[in-house]
C-alpha cells in the first residue's frame, strides 16, 4: 500500500507555472537540504554523522554523486519540478552555520526552503521528528546555524540516536559508532527520510509534519 506521505504528496503536489502567450513554463523551486556531520573516515559511522549517512544513502538510491565544492560536498536532486540541493558541510560540526550561510547566498535560497538533517539524543534510535523551529538542545551544529540566523526558526528533521549512555559519557556516545542492530534500524528508515524531504519540498512543512511525525 502507498504510504500516507506518498498519498499526501500526490494529492497536494503543485507545479508552479507562468503563462506566456498560451504556453506554460515550469518554474523550478529550489531547496537546500543540510546534512550535519563530521568529515573523514574516523567519523563515518558514528551516531553524530547520521545526517551524512542519510544524505549518502539518498544519493545512492537516486543515482546522485557528491562533489567537493566550497565548504561542502554538494549534489543536486531534480524531481517533481523541484531542484533540491543537498550539502554535507566540510567545516566540521561546530561551524556548520558557515556552510549554510554560504550555500544559501550562493543559491539564493530563502530560510523557509532550508531543511537540516540532524541527530537527536532525545529520540529513540531511528525515530523521526520534523520540526519548524526549536532550540539547539546543546547540539553544536544547530548552535552554529542559530548563530548565523540569529534565531531558532528554521526547519529540522531530527533523527533519533537514543541516549543509552552512562552519565558523563555523552561525547563518547555521540562520537561512537552505531551497533549493528542500530545501523540496520537506521538504514531501514532512510527511505522515509527521503519521503519526508520530498514532501517538505512539495506540500510544505505543516502538512508533512501532520503525516510523518511518529
50 contacts 159 by C-beta, under 8 angstroms: yes
Q: What are the backbone dihedrals phi and psi of residue 205, each rounded to the nearest 5 degrees, phi first?
A: -70, -40
pLDDT of residue 28: 64
pLDDT 10s digit of each residue in the chain, 214 long?
Answer: 445 555 444 444 433 333 323 333 345 699 999 999 999 999 999 999 999 999 999 999 999 999 999 999 999 999 999 999 999 999 999 999 999 999 999 999 999 999 999 999 999 999 999 999 999 999 999 999 999 999 999 999 999 999 999 999 999 999 999 999 999 999 999 999 999 999 999 999 999 999 888 7
CA distance 73 to 39: 10
pLDDT, position 66: 98
Burial of 57 (0-12, 13-18, 19+ CB in 10 A): middle
Query: What are 110's three cell numbers?
Result: 530563502
Which one, of 128, 156, 124, lies nearest residue 143 by Cα? 156
Q: What is the pLDDT of residue 3?
A: 54
Quote the Cα angle for 155-119-206, to 5°: 25
Crossing angle between the packed helical segments 4-12 and 205-212, to the nearest 10 degrees: 160
CATH of domain 29-212: 3.40.50.1470
What pLDDT does residue 19 have? 30
% helix, strand, coil for the chain, step of 5: 45, 25, 30
Q: Enumerate the active-site residues.
A: 48
The residue extents of the domains of the chain are 29-212
Q: What pTM, to 2 d.p., does this model score?
A: 0.87
Query: Are 26 and 81 within 8 A, CB to CB?
Result: yes
For residue 149, the Cα-to-chain-centroid distance in whole angstroms is 17
Amino acid at each position: 500500500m502507498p504510504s500516507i506521505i506518498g498519498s499526501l504528496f500526490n494529492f497536494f503536489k503543485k507545479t508552479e507555472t507562468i503563462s506566456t502567450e498560451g504556453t506554460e513554463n515550469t518554474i523550478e523551486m529550489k531547496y537546500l537540504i543540510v546534512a550535519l556531520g563530521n568529515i573523514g573516515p574516523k567519523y563515518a559511522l558514528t551516531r553524530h554523522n547520521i545526517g551524512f549517512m542519510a544524505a549518502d544513502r539518498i544519493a545512492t538510491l537516486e543515482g546522485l554523486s557528491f562533489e567537493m565544492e566550497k565548504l561542502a560536498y554538494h549534489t543536486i536532486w531534480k524531481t517533481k519540478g523541484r531542484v533540491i540541493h543537498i550539502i554535507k558541510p566540510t567545516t566540521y560540526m561546530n561551524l556548520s552555520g558557515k556552510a549554510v550561510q554560504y550555500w544559501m547566498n550562493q543559491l539564493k535560497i530563502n530560510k523557509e526552503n532550508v531543511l537540516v538533517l540532524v541527530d537527536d539524543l532525545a529520540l529513540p534510535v531511528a525515530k523521526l521528528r520534523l520540526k519548524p523551529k526549536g532550540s539547539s538542545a546543546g547540539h553544536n551544529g544547530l548552535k552554529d546555524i542559530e548563530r548565523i540566523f540569529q534565531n531558532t526558526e528554521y526547519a529540522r528533521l531530527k533523527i533519533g540516536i537514543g541516549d543509552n549512555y552512562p552519565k558523563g559519557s555523552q561525547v563518547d556516545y555521540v562520537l561512537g559508532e552505531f551497533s549493528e542492530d542500530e545501523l540496520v534500524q537506521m538504514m531501514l528508515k532512510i527511505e522515509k527520510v527521503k519521503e519526508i524531504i520530498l514532501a517538505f519540498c512539495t506540500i510544505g512543512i505543516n502538512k508533512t509534519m501532520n503525516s510523518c511525525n511518529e
